[in-house]
Structures are given as C-alpha cells and as structure tokens.
C-alpha cells in the first residue's frame, strides 16, 4: 500500500476588521502577586493585546501615564476572570456573537463547522451563529465582500513551494479575504521573492510563518491524507505531492 499525503489544509480565516475580533486577538493573562509592608495595595490584572506588531495601551484623559488594558481584581476573583470581566465591560456586552461561515457542499467542512460551534460555545460569553451556504457563495459573495466573522475554508497548493500558502497573507493578495495586514510580514515576503540563496530564503519563509501563526492570520485546523493501493506488477507510476496526483507516462505493467 502506498500512502499519499494531500497537502490541502483546512483553516479558519478571521475577518480582522471586525471590531470584536480585533479587540479579542492576542490576549495574554498575567497573574500579579505583590507584597509590600505598610502599604494599601490595589491588585490589578492586565491583558496584552497585540495587533500588527503593536500593543494596545490606554490612559485616563486626566493622566499622563499609559497602562495595559485591565482593571482591579475583585475579592475571590483570579486574574483570568478579571481580564474577561474587564474586556466585557469595555465591549459593553455580556455575550459576544460571531458568525461561522461554511459550505454545506464541502464535506467534511459541515462536520468541522458543527464541531467548532460546539467547542467555541463552551467558552463563557461566546455565542456562535452558523451561516450555511454553498462553496461558491461562501468564497465569491460572502468572503470576497468581508461578510463573515470566521470562515471555514481550505487551500490546496498550486505548486510545490511554501509560498503557495505564505503569499495568501500578503496585504494586497486578492485571496486575503480576512484583510490581515502586517508590514513586517510583507517586507519579509518581498525578500523571499528575490532571495537567490536557498538556505537564506528558507529561513525567511520560516520567519514569515512565525508572524502569520502568532498573529492568527489563518488558524490551521487539520490536514487531509489519502491512501492508494498499487499492484506490485505496476512500476513507473509517478506520484506528485501537488497538482495532478499521478503521472502515467512512464507506467509499465509486468504480466
């Protein structure tokens, strides 16, 4: 039996300009423990929100000091719960509703969407609205016009190089429906396009991948694989990791 790996990856795409998603991305919880004698302390928890390489801070209009987003920890409350409560207060909502877009004619996309709805709904304060449609409508009507919050999508490679995926996240790429943008990422990909040294180019692509994964440009969910049985009398069958899966030009069958 020959096992052939399919490099099509099922991913989640976030519409970055959605105000709720923009505020929620990149939150890091921090526990604070301070012991100082003879002082009355206000224990505060703060979240680090990172977007496009920048950290969100704020200040009171009557103060010259900036601070991370957060607030005072209430009695019996841990820092994670404080962060959740403060973010809800800042958003002005007790619950957040996000639309999960998927195609019903893209099996197993429908099963994946159902699983994700159940997983996301277990998060306190998060509600998921399922938006079921066809693949054609998902891509060219809703995603192309940024009419989504989260989309279940898939990308199969067009050629055998990592840029078949990495180019998707360049700011002005036509398939960047989530409108994610990172100037450092774009700069690295410009270098990838002209770098002649194989090792240097490979390292640049690794650096670019770290940025897109950290900043949630896309969220990989799973990769599909397939298996094929090949008779021992068949030789010369060429299997390709991308594009047309087989080349039969050199096949020979022994009687």
Q: Taking phi first (over 0 means left), then psi (-120 to 50 degrees means alpha), and beta for anything else, what does residue 52 get?
A: left
Q: Dump the DSSP string for 119-168.
A: HHHTSTTEEEEEEEE-HHHIIIIIITTT--SEEEEEE--SSSSTHHHHGG
Q: What is the pLDDT along the chain (255 residues), one digit of tens a residue?
A: 343 333 445 666 666 666 555 555 544 444 445 556 666 666 788 888 777 678 888 888 888 888 888 888 887 788 888 888 887 787 777 788 899 999 999 888 888 899 999 998 888 778 899 999 999 999 999 999 999 999 999 888 888 899 999 999 999 999 999 999 999 999 999 999 999 999 999 999 999 999 999 888 898 887 777 777 888 899 999 887 777 788 899 999 988
Calpha distance 234→231 (Å, rounded): 6
């Amino acid at each position: 039996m020959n096992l052939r790996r399919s490099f099509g990856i099922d991913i989640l795409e976030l519409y970055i300009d959605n105000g709720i998603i923009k505020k929620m991305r990149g939150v890091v919880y921090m526990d604070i423990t301070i012991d100082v004698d003879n002082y009355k302390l206000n224990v505060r928890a703060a979240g680090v929100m990172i977007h496009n390489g920048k950290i969100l801070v704020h200040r009171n209009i009557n103060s010259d000091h900036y601070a991370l987003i957060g607030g005072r920890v209430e009695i019996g409350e841990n820092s994670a719960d404080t962060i959740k409560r403060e973010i809800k207060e800042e958003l002005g909502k007790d619950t957040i509703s996000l639309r999960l877009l998927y195609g019903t004619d893209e099996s197993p996309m429908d099963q994946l969407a159902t699983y994700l709805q159940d997983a996301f709904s277990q998060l306190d304060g998060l509600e998921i609205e399922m938006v079921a449609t066809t693949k054609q409508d998902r891509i060219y009507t809703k995603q192309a016009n940024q009419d989504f919050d989260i989309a279940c999508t898939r990308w199969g490679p067009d050629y055998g190089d990592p840029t078949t995926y990495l180019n998707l996240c360049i700011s002005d790429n036509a398939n960047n429906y989530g409108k994610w943008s990172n100037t450092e990422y774009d700069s690295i990909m410009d270098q990838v396009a002209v770098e002649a040294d194989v090792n240097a180019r490979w390292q640049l692509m690794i650096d670019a991948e770290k940025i897109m994964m950290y900043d949630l440009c896309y969220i990989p969910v799973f990769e599909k694989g397939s298996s094929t049985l090949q008779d021992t009398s068949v030789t010369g069958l060429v299997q390709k990791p991308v594009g047309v899966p087989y080349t039969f030009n050199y096949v020979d069958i022994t009687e």
